[in-house]
Amino acid sequence: MKEQTFKNDTYNLYTIKTGKFKTGLLEVEFYIPYTEVRESYISLLINMLTSENKIYKTSKELNKKLKNLYNANIYGETNRVGETLITSIGIEFIDLKYTDIKIEDIIKFLMDSIFKPNIKNDEFNEESLLNNKNKLKQDINDLIESPKEESIYRALNILDKDKPFSKIASGNINILDSITPKKLYEFYNWFIQHSKKDIYIIGDFDMEKINTIISRQVKFNSISTTDYKFYLDYIPFKKVIKTHIPKENVETNLVLIYTFKFLSDYEEEYVFPLFNLIFGSGSLNSKLYNTLRTENNLCYNVSSIYQRYDRLLIVHTQIDKNSKDLTIKLCKKVLLEMQKISDKELEDAKKMIIMSLNLTLDNEERLIDNYCFKNMGLLDNLEKRIEIFKKVDTKDIVALAKKIKLISITSLGDK
């Protein structure tokens, strides 16, 4: 694989040339500072841009065109990284040597979707807007109706209702209801004007030619001067917040939130992922699973989520309401045990991490994600990451375990 960077006036093009895959991927990345309002607007806007445009005015027409492009797939998603929203709009397509279409056709289709929205009289189509609003609202309601997701969402909201991590990624229903066709178009213009942009492509192409083609079609006319912030501020250590949220006929969902302070880049990128694999993650071999499930039969599963850019570690499990105190006690015990892990536990975790990274080399989307985070200064390249993971030792894990502090305990379910 050969990586190249082509610097243009208003964006950079990052390319990965490889003949390894039978598909290609072209993706445009947009960066804007986070606000809850923007997150709601961008969720709706992505749905609109990827379902119809000025040329293909309905989802049916657009899907027909995608079928003619040998079942290409257009997609859009937004991820929050700290205080930055990163929106991806892309297209996945079959390797063009197996087809009679040209790369120009693929590029034009994607750029038309971005630059030629279905607008009339400076407004989006009202019926389409309503349909996409309803889809987002359903996604939000489905999320809240899941006891696991609701318990984590409520726990984060109790911890700090003003932090971005306490908001639902799909949007806020009240904000969505306030969005009109005209307001969304005004936001679209602001978004195209003020966001930072990067373009990524992976496939077996003449990348010099790709750069020329894209530069003719891209219509960005501004450069973002915003200083993007990818980490939230550290949460102060304080007395543990303890909350119970009554909900009838629901098994108790227990959420423990931990934070940490002043970790080095090395600890954040390399030590913590290994720590989390040993501690909890979703593994059946983790310390939390062995203690809570195998040894004490308190739950069916337990997981821990490392939210690096929010500086949080979240543990979730479902238990009998009468087992809450014992479960909390055992979770605290497991964290202490992380200060005396064995060489074998660490080596097993390393093997799992390295296997996952090697699998990234076989996945186009993960390759682009890794490339994107490397360009943001948040990750090293894959080869370097593998080598550094190999060098992490038990002393690193022990030192990290001492820096982690429980700050919140939330339970949701029957009293």
DSSP β-bridge partners for residue 312:
259, 307
- pLDDT given at position 207: 96
Q: Where are the alpha helices (DSSP H) in 261-342?
A: 265-266, 272-279, 287-289, 324-337
Q: Which domains does the chain have, with CATH numbers?
A: 2-217 (3.30.830.10), 241-413 (3.30.830.10)
- pLDDT given at position 286: 94
Chain centroid, CA 410 distance in Å = 24
Alpha-carbon distance 272 to 229, whole Å? 21
Give the pLDDT mean for 285-305.
95
Q: Where are the alpha helices (DSSP H) in 306-393?
A: 324-337, 343-360, 364-375, 382-391
- pLDDT given at position 219: 80
Contact 408, 165 (CB under 8 A): no
Q: Tell me the pLDDT tens digit for each residue of 94-110.
A: 999 889 999 999 999 99
With pLDDT > 90 as the criterion, what percentage of the chain qualifies?
A: 90
- pLDDT given at position 221: 83
DSSP β-bridge partners for residue 14:
5, 200
Token pair in block for residue 295: 């040894």
CB atoms within 10 A of CB 85: 24
Measured in Å, how far apart are the chain's first and last C-alpha atoms?
A: 57
Angle of helix 343-360 relative to helix 394-401, nearest 10 degrees, comes to 100
- pLDDT given at position 237: 86
Q: Tell me the pLDDT tens digit for each residue of 220-256.
A: 888 888 889 999 999 988 899 999 999 988 999 999 9
Residue 122 — very low, low, confident or very high, per pLDDT cuts 50/70/90? Answer: very high
Q: Tell me the pLDDT tens digit for each residue of 342-364.
A: 999 999 999 999 999 999 889 99
Chain centroid, CA 122 distance in Å = 32
3-class state of residue 29 by DSSP: strand
Alpha-carbon distance 16 to 5, whole Å? 9
Alpha-carbon distance 252 to 282, whole Å? 19
The CA-CA-CA angle for residues 294, 286, 239, to 5°, reads 100
Instruction: Measure Cα distances from 263 to 276, 376, 381 in Å.
Output: 15, 19, 21
Q: Tell me the pLDDT tens digit for each residue of 356-386.
A: 999 988 999 999 999 999 999 999 999 999 9
Chain centroid, CA 330 distance in Å = 30
Pick the residue with more confidence: 6 or 415? 6
CB atoms within 10 A of CB 333: 11
Alpha-carbon distance 181 to 230, whole Å? 31
Alpha-carbon distance 111 to 13, whole Å? 14
Q: Is the pLDDT of residue 415 over 80?
A: no
Q: Tell me the pLDDT tens digit for each residue of 152-190.
A: 999 999 999 999 999 999 999 999 999 999 999 999 999
Q: Is the pLDDT of residue 314 over 90?
A: yes
HSE of 134, CA atoms in CB hemisphere, 13 A: 6
3-class state of residue 246 by DSSP: strand
Pick the residue with more confidence: 284 or 315? 315
Q: Tell me the pLDDT tens digit for each residue of 60-98.
A: 999 999 999 999 999 999 999 999 999 999 999 999 988
Alpha-carbon distance 113 to 87, whole Å? 14
Q: Is the dihedral of CA 105, 9, 228, 376 positive or negative?
A: positive
Listed in sequence order, the residues at least 6 apart from 104 whose beta carbon sits closer than 8 Å to its beta carbon are 213
Pick the residue with more confidence: 314 or 1? 314
Burial of 160 (0-12, 13-18, 19+ CB in 10 A): middle
Q: Where are the alpha helices (DSSP H) in 179-284?
A: 181-194, 207-217, 265-266, 272-279
Does this model's pTM top 0.85? yes
